[in-house]
Structure 1
Amino acid sequence: MKTVCLHTKDEIEAFLRRHPFLHLYALGDLDDFFWHHTTWYALKEHQQIKQLVLFYTGTSVPVLLGITEESTKLMHELLYSIIHLLPKRLYAHLSGNLAGVLASDYQIQSHGLHHKMALTDSSRLDGIDTSGVVQLSASNVSELEKLYYESYPGNWFEPRMLETGYYYGIRQGAALLSVAGVHVYSQQYGVAALGNITTHPLFRGKGLGRIVCAKLCQTLLQTVDYIGLNVKADNKSAIACYTKLGFERIATYEEYSLELK
């Protein structure tokens, strides 16, 4: 087995397409909009990719994606081989007990188990009245940041994602009450990952999140084939909402913050 850094999109895509919902974020990051923020490490045997890791630097804290649908043995080997290449501080999405590989070098804080969910029954979006939903743009950055500050302070909102055109909200008068957007979108690769979904605390329980997510999904389905999201495993209300919209759980992983010792 040999660890290599990959630079060929087609080779990476072929590996990721084996399970597109599981690797939704990584597939989207092949798009030119994200590609220059990515570094790809692979474990190869006889020129074949056996395991793959994505290191993404397009966020305020770089993110390591080490998600596998197989045994974690090969991913363990790959992660161990690239520890010396990682920065002092990073965030990570890891399958199983893979965080243990990094424990000798990093202080690790878990952010809990998360589910990957995939939109597998889009018929459930039919009949949802989304007429009150509005599209958001770069001109709405200030009010979006205000809503996230008040209702979702631990968000991963990146203003440049508004350039995709896939951020939607619900208003009451001039006030923005609920929003749903994307972490990843690629028409070329046919994938989208929902993210930064929140409703102001004073207006929760009214179904606003379901409506705004429905509008977002309905619009995305005009250009992509795969829609998914990540949600914390103990967020029962969000999971119930997504299930009603036609999402189902396809995998569980854990999120971590890492700081070099």
Structure 2
Amino acid sequence: MSVPDGARLVTDPHELEVHFGDIKAAHIYALVDLEEPFWSGGTWYIRDGAAVGIVEMPGDDWQAVYAVSTRAPQASLSLVADLVDRFPPGQFVTASAGLQSALAGRREVRWCRPHMRYRLADPTAVPGPDPRVQPLDRSDLTHLQNLYAEPDSAFLLPHMVDDSTFVGVFDGDRLVAAAGTHVVSESKRIAAIGAVYVSPYWRGMGLGRAVTAGVVHRLAGRVDLIGLNVAADNKVARSVYEAIGFVPLLAYDEAELV
């Protein structure tokens, strides 16, 4: 595959670790993508101070594009625009704010939604364990898949459950709330909380707060830096996260290509 003009392939993950180390909390996903099993199946390019990666998800026949930059956001948008013809239909992209404008005339976007990246700044604000919250594992995968099959639910890939971070709340035999992590690196001591979801009937009972805090407790002693992402217009979720010690760090876009 040809390299875009002025860009080069990156073959040393350490170079990217340094690159993304400027604001570590903003690049938790990218830093984990530099480890196995993600690194060997990925392709990374760098140009004009910006890096863009195409990362294969292990065992899930799915890839993501990482194009968020805190050093050179416009350069990252330019680079992803020069790569966009290589992406398959339905490609998921995370990029610096302004992605849809950067792709105008280059590739149709099915949807593009502004997001905020948060980091946990005050662990003392995290509430103690809630007795309703239970740890989940691979044996609960069917329950999780049923929950996340609901309309407008959260995002889950099965391998995420293997990081031993998921928690949930049951009503009888039905899982009605859950949260876990999208990525974890104990060697880098970083993690990103994800898949936070409460089924509609059970909202307003503090379950979102409880399961998010439950993930923080499961990560205790394993990592030093915890982040999460949330849609910028999801005011309810943002207020929950901010109430338990998370602070906004970076605005970015998530999109799916036609």
Identify which range, 131-140 or 70-79, moves more after superposition: 70-79
Structure 2: distance between partners of 1:17 and 1:70? 10
Describe the superposition over 1:195-233 as per-residue Cα deviations: whole angstroms up to 9, x where unpaired.
111111111111011111112112213111211111011
Identify which range, 2-11 or 66-75, moves more after superposition: 66-75
| Cα gap change, 1:166 to 1:37, in 2 (>3 Å) | farther
Describe the superposition over 1:133-175 as per-residue Cα deviations: whole angstroms up to 9, x where unpaired.
211111111111111123644x321111111111111123322
Structure 1: distance between partners of 2:81 and 2:150? 39
Aligned residues of 1:72 and 1:98 also touching (Cα < 8 A)? no
1:166 aligns with 2:165: yes
Match of 2:142 in 1: 142
Superposed, 1:118-157 pairs within 5 Å as 118-125=119-126, 127-150=127-150, 152-153=152-153, 155-157=154-156
Secondary structure of the structure 1 residue equivalent to 2:197: strand
| Cα gap change, 1:175 to 1:68, in 2 (>3 Å) | same
Secondary structure of the structure 1 residue equivalent to 2:108: strand
Deviation at 1:130, TM superposition (A): 2.5
In the alignment, residue 18 of structure 1 is paired with which amino acid? D
Superposed, 1:23-42 pairs within 5 Å as 23-42=27-46
| Cα gap change, 1:88 to 1:200, in 2 (>3 Å) | closer
Match of 2:13 in 1: 9
| Cα gap change, 1:221 to 1:7, in 2 (>3 Å) | farther
Match of 1:47 in 2: none
Superposed, 1:64-75 pairs within 5 Å as 64-75=65-76
Structure 2 stretches lacking a partner, 5+ long: none
Deviation at 1:61, TM superposition (A): 4.7
Aligned residues of 1:61 and 1:91 also touching (Cα < 8 A)? no
Structure 2: distance between partners of 1:142 and 1:99? 35
Structure 1: distance between partners of 2:204 and 2:151? 14
- Identical positions, percent: 28
Deviation at 1:114, TM superposition (A): 0.7
Match of 1:112 in 2: 113
Secondary structure of the structure 1 residue equivalent to 2:162: helix
Describe the superposition over 1:97-135 as per-residue Cα deviations: whole angstroms up to 9, x where unpaired.
23333332311133321111111111101x523233211
Structure 1: distance between partners of 2:53 and 2:17? 12
Structure 1: distance between partners of 2:90 and 2:143? 30
Aligned residues of 1:110 and 1:254 also touching (Cα < 8 A)? no
Aligned residues of 1:151 and 1:201 also touching (Cα < 8 A)? no
Secondary structure of the structure 2 residue equivalent to 1:63: strand
Match of 2:184 in 1: 185
Kindly report the root-mean-square deviation, in angstroms, between the aligned alpha carbons of the 2 structures: 2.0
Count of residue pairs brought into register by the alignment: 252
In the alignment, residue 176 of structure 1 is paired with which amino acid? L
Describe the superposition over 1:36-89 as per-residue Cα deviations: whole angstroms up to 9, x where unpaired.
342211116xxxxx2111212215553212112244332244234433443344
Structure 2: distance between partners of 1:178 and 1:228? 20
Secondary structure of the structure 1 residue equivalent to 2:188: coil
Structure 2: distance between partners of 1:110 and 1:151? 16
Structure 1: distance between partners of 2:236 and 2:19? 34
Superposed, 1:233-248 pairs within 5 Å as 233-248=232-247
Structure 2: distance between partners of 1:131 and 1:35? 38
